[in-house]
Amino acid sequence: MKTSEVKKQRTLASETWRRFRKNKLALTGMIVLVSLVLIALSTIVIDLVTDNAIYNNYVIKQNLRLRLQGPSKAHIFGLDEFGRDIFMRMVWAVRYSLFMGTIAIALSTTVGVILGSIAGYYGKVTDNVIMRFMDVLLAIPSMLLATAIVAALGTSLTNVLIAIAISYVPTFARTVRASVLTIKDQEFIEAARAMGASDFRIIFKYILPNSMAPLIVQATLGVAGAILSIAGLSFLGLGIQPPTPEWGSMLSSARSYIREGWHITVIPGLGIMITILALNVMGDGLRDALDPRLKN
């Protein structure tokens, strides 16, 4: 009996992966995303091992005599308006865009899960107060809200993370609330309540684990939106400040030189596009793999 139960659990655990890998486009997106994560981690290791020597000599060091040089064997992505190697700046920019987007969504997911769980589980006045506040935040465009927060708090990495996280909290709160409303009246929840389980235990042990599928999909797509928001804030001069490499700030500083060097705007733009596309197709693949209605 125990062997059959373990086998069934393994089958259920591997079912999502089996269905996900059938989606070649989603699998390609995951491979691209994993590659970007490895690149970001490698830059951190390189900085630690070399004591930022590579960063100082090849990423932010300027050479105005070679400014706006096009792609070549020596510099495969060319040089920017200050003579800095675009390839090295693109590689080092991955960790800022990807990790900051992930951290921001992790923060907004945590707050959104707590608020959505409380609103959905207790309902009535608690639900109305929390969700009306979420509606107010949703009424403000996320980019405009993030811009206002950064402008008020000041331009720094911490403030950018706070701004992006706050702007995405309502999305996760509504997603979790909808799942909680669907699950909280089911029989196994009533059984747990009859056995004397506390509200905290019911929410975090029984309800939330059964609400993870839509939350995972929303978080994956949310990272893509957060990366775009970070790039947008940097483009406006409210995000990561030069000379720190970040795709949005690279586009902002290069826009005045687009006629002299097409590569300094196209390459950072392609970096943003490929990353967002990979996250979106992977999110779509996860949504299909986690949807029980699509099982054969």
The per-residue pLDDT for range 100-153, each reduced to its tens digit, is 899 999 999 999 999 999 999 898 899 999 999 999 988 888 888 888 888 888
d(CA 26, CA 173): 26
Q: Is the pLDDT of residue 3 over 80?
A: no
Computed over every residue of the chain, the mean pLDDT equals 87
- Convert the pLDDT of each residue in 66-84 to its tens digit: 889 989 888 899 999 999 9
Q: Which two tokens stand for residue 3?
A: 């062997």
Q: pLDDT class for 8, splitting at 50, 70, 90?
A: very low
**18 found inside a domain:** no
- Residue 259 main-chain phi, psi, to 5 deg: -70, -35
Q: Give the total number of structural domains in the chain.
A: 1
Token look-up 């949005």 returns 248
Q: pLDDT class for 191, splitting at 50, 70, 90?
A: confident
**6 found inside a domain:** no
**240 found inside a domain:** yes
Q: Is the pLDDT of residue 6 over 80?
A: no
- Give the per-residue pLDDT at 291: 67
**12 found inside a domain:** no
Range of the domain at 191: 23-294
**11 found inside a domain:** no
**263 found inside a domain:** yes
Q: Which two tokens stand for residue 273?
A: 């596009």
Is the model more confident about 6 or about 93? 93
d(CA 188, CA 169): 29
- Convert the pLDDT of each residue in 20-60 to its tens digit: 888 899 999 999 999 999 999 999 999 999 999 999 988 99
Domain containing residue 176: CATH number: 1.10.3720.10
**1 found inside a domain:** no
234 burial (CB, 10 Å; 0-12 / 13-18 / 19+) is buried
**Rounded to whole angstroms, what are the CA distances from 26 to 2, 39, 219, 271, 287?**
35, 20, 16, 18, 10
Residue 79 has what DSSP assignment? B
Q: Which of 240, 219, 216 is nearest to 95 (CA)?
A: 240
In terms of C-beta distances under 8 Å and separation of at least 24 residues, what long-range contacts does 44-53 make, across chains too? 44/95
**15 found inside a domain:** no
